[in-house]
Structure 1
């Protein structure tokens, strides 16, 4: 079988299997709840792999290795070490309690969970609005996938972008959360295999001396704190910001709502194990940045490091074109595994938490909520497509600026709502969310902080401080003696 025929067969099988899984999911989707979080009948192993694939998207598989290629060990530590610690801490701390609260209240989106927990419609609407910042990440994924698609087939990036969007929408529109979960499990297993294969295949570039060979690239390239980097240069920018912002990113709607897929606390441990194991394999893809540098590749566009490396690495072997096809399809799957999750969560959120309360309705007519979710899905996709046609120079930083703003506003209210036994103060939540978002925007737009994670970490710290002070003052007022 020729490489071209193999390519067509693999792509055809991938498309058919994905659409079949979506059709299976569609048969279980009857209303907006089933579209958003399913009917709590999914295996925790499926939910765990789905979660890992949602976290480790095009950013991990295509974009972030470019940061490692440019900035070296400091970038690898920021994403792989500090980031992984943030993810694990967030899940271990929040999963059980967040799931219990969501199950008790019947929440199906993050703003809906906020409303049920704080009993504030204005705060819920605010969260729905700021969650629209997730569109920035949709743009990143579309651009990353279109780069891969244009390398895989002799078509322009614009045509690649169009085909990817149409394909993802075709299967998400069908099955919602079930299509997302089933296809993510299939895609996630592909991603695990390819991550291990690429890492093992490229490990020989270290030649038995990882530190020595990386130092040969540059004295500061091997430094945990790289003084020549404008992004990763000290403890705060490498470790603290990496931990804090990754912890905060777990508050994104397409990630945190996965915990609502689980049926009971008995499923939590299996969910966590499958998430951590699959996610650990995905992080190995960051080493591609090292491999490309040690291979001596001169890659002018940072976002194109992974594409350039796999093309160069596997093009010389007889079996290379076949491996390249499968790897390219898997990298596309990595992007789609997050893209479909964001689209499902955004469409459900706009309908449930914006349209429904602002229209004065208490509930939907049978099937109407599901139809509106699908309409919103199309609108969100078109807007993201228009931005992706002419993306910023560094699309990774563009996405981080938007999504990290969402994370800065979300962390304190969600953590307080999850960990406090009594109903949290609405005033504290409002203040923390507003301060977090505004401080992040000031850091990025006015103070010129280059690394969005650093700006977001300062913003989250300020948000937490404001919340702590307000809670302390409120506590003093409640315990102060009353004067009759």
Structure 2
């Protein structure tokens, strides 16, 4: 069996499994609560691993390793920030959010944020839906693009055919199974990512001769800027660079597809178990991908595309069959990440904006929305290609600043005045979008930090006013 057959057989087997999960999950969807949030009944393993996987995939494997390959030592600032985001979500946000969402019987993040905002409720719902659909169109396109790159390079297919093929598989099982299918397939995806993030760095270090030899070899292949912990920056700009990279973790608490899993956890006991699983997963995956990027620079430099360093290293270290299995499994994982974003986008339109009482009609409209999002994201991937890492971080920053600050204050004080809630969402989202068009600051610290903390101040101010009124 050669490399291409190994990839093909593994890929077909994995896709059959995904579609089977979709068929099984379809039996559990009697209403929109089942389809979008699994009736608040996720256990610790599914909640922890699926939330981590849905927040990561293409950019954590290809993007993170590619960033380490290009940036060098300074890429090491990224994992601590992301891991801190996981710690905040699971140790502080999740326990309070689980109680609040179960108490309010909230199905979506938008529903939770818009509640008790009076006459602003409908406007907040529309703004949230717009922000989710706009950002996720690019986020999902990045996943399709990552899958397309891999299909094209592995099977010598055109990019158009590759992207359409990957999109079709994702569409089938998301339409069939909804939240349950997405959560379970994302759990499988997350376990595959963790296994790969453990196996590949170990084999790379063994090939190089150990961590000490890796460090010595890095000084031979990286330039002076790449060997500097602050890149090309110094003084105050170096501080901004560090805060910018570590600030990536800020966006974690505002990602609808991540928060959705936290809302769906069945109990506080499940949260206590899930937090250990989630933080361990993040440490393993992001730390592992930094080592992969550095090792690729030492072992196989140069590569034509930095985001192909992961696949190039895999092919160089393993036999064709093993390499084919790893690449096919990771490819499947990358492709299945888009399902969570598709489901949240569908809920933003079909559940939050368009209120349909009839359960069958509501499910049909939800599935049609998934199809529409797939088409839009596919067109973006085909006709507006961009660096995966950059595209994902843009959507991540925009959603994190739009929803994270308000959610934190909402969970703390239970309520924020409608005008302040709307102002916080708009400030976080639109300011991030506006800043993305300006020249990048070191580590993108302005785009990443300013909108988030300004939105947090607005939301907190609305809470203070409310308290004063009550007194």
CA distance in 2: counterparts of 1:454 and 1:71, whole angstroms: 20
What does 1:230-241 align with in structure 2 at a 5 Å threshold? Answer: 234-238=238-242, 240-241=243-244
Cα distance, 1:180–1:227 mapped onto 2, change above 3 Å: same
Counterpart in the other structure of 1:97: 96
Describe the superposition over 1:254-280 as per-residue Cα deviations: whole angstroms up to 9, x where unpaired: 110001221121211112122222222
Q: 1:444 aligns with which of 436, 456, 460?
A: 436
Deviation (angstroms), 1:476: 6.3
CA distance in 1: counterparts of 2:465 and 2:90, whole angstroms: 30
Deviation (angstroms), 1:332: 1.4
The answer to whether structure 1 residue 265 and structure 2 residue 268 are counterparts is yes
Counterpart in the other structure of 1:156: 158
Counterpart in the other structure of 2:105: 106
Whether contact under 8 Å (1:86, 1:242) holds in the other structure is no
The answer to whether structure 1 residue 406 and structure 2 residue 410 are counterparts is no
Counterpart in the other structure of 1:212: 216
Cα distance, 1:182–1:441 mapped onto 2, change above 3 Å: closer
Counterpart in the other structure of 1:224: 229
SS in 2 for 1:38: helix
CA distance in 2: counterparts of 1:72 and 1:242, whole angstroms: 14
Deviation (angstroms), 1:478: 7.0
Residues 2-11 or 384-393, more deviating: 2-11
Counterpart in the other structure of 1:432: 424
CA distance in 2: counterparts of 1:149 and 1:292, whole angstroms: 21
The answer to whether structure 1 residue 286 and structure 2 residue 290 are counterparts is yes
Cα distance, 1:474–1:41 mapped onto 2, change above 3 Å: closer
Deviation (angstroms), 1:228: 6.0
SS in 2 for 1:72: helix
What does 1:94-173 align with in structure 2 at a 5 Å threshold? Answer: 94-119=93-118, 120-132=121-133, 133-173=135-175
Query: Which ranges in structure 2 are unaligned for 5 or more consecutive residues?
Result: none
Describe the superposition over 1:164-205 as per-residue Cα deviations: whole angstroms up to 9, x where unpaired: 000010111100011111212222222222211101011133
CA distance in 2: counterparts of 1:95 and 1:466, whole angstroms: 23
Whether contact under 8 Å (1:412, 1:429) holds in the other structure is no
Counterpart in the other structure of 1:317: none
Counterpart in the other structure of 1:351: 350
SS in 2 for 1:367: helix
TM-score normalised by L of structure 2: 0.91
Counterpart in the other structure of 1:360: none
Number of equivalenced pairs: 463
Deviation (angstroms), 1:453: 5.3
What does 1:27-426 align with in structure 2 at a 5 Å threshold? Answer: 27-78=27-78, 80-119=79-118, 120-132=121-133, 133-204=135-206, 205=208, 207-209=210-212, 210-216=214-220, 217-227=222-232, 234-238=238-242, 240-283=243-286, 284-314=288-318, 320-356=319-355, 363-421=356-414, 423-426=415-418
Describe the superposition over 1:70-95 as per-residue Cα deviations: whole angstroms up to 9, x where unpaired: 111212322x1122112212322210
Cα distance, 1:402–1:267 mapped onto 2, change above 3 Å: closer
Counterpart in the other structure of 2:7: 7
CA distance in 1: counterparts of 2:317 and 2:130, whole angstroms: 44
CA distance in 1: counterparts of 2:147 and 2:389, whole angstroms: 13
The structure where helix makes up a greater share of residues is 2
Deviation (angstroms), 1:53: 1.3
CA distance in 2: counterparts of 1:383 and 1:453, whole angstroms: 30
SS in 2 for 1:244: helix
Deviation (angstroms), 1:117: 5.0
Counterpart in the other structure of 1:359: none
TM-score normalised by L of structure 1: 0.89
Describe the superposition over 1:407-428 as per-residue Cα deviations: whole angstroms up to 9, x where unpaired: 212121111111114x222222
Counterpart in the other structure of 1:455: 447
CA distance in 1: counterparts of 2:2 and 2:9, whole angstroms: 11
Residues 34-43 or 212-221, more deviating: 212-221
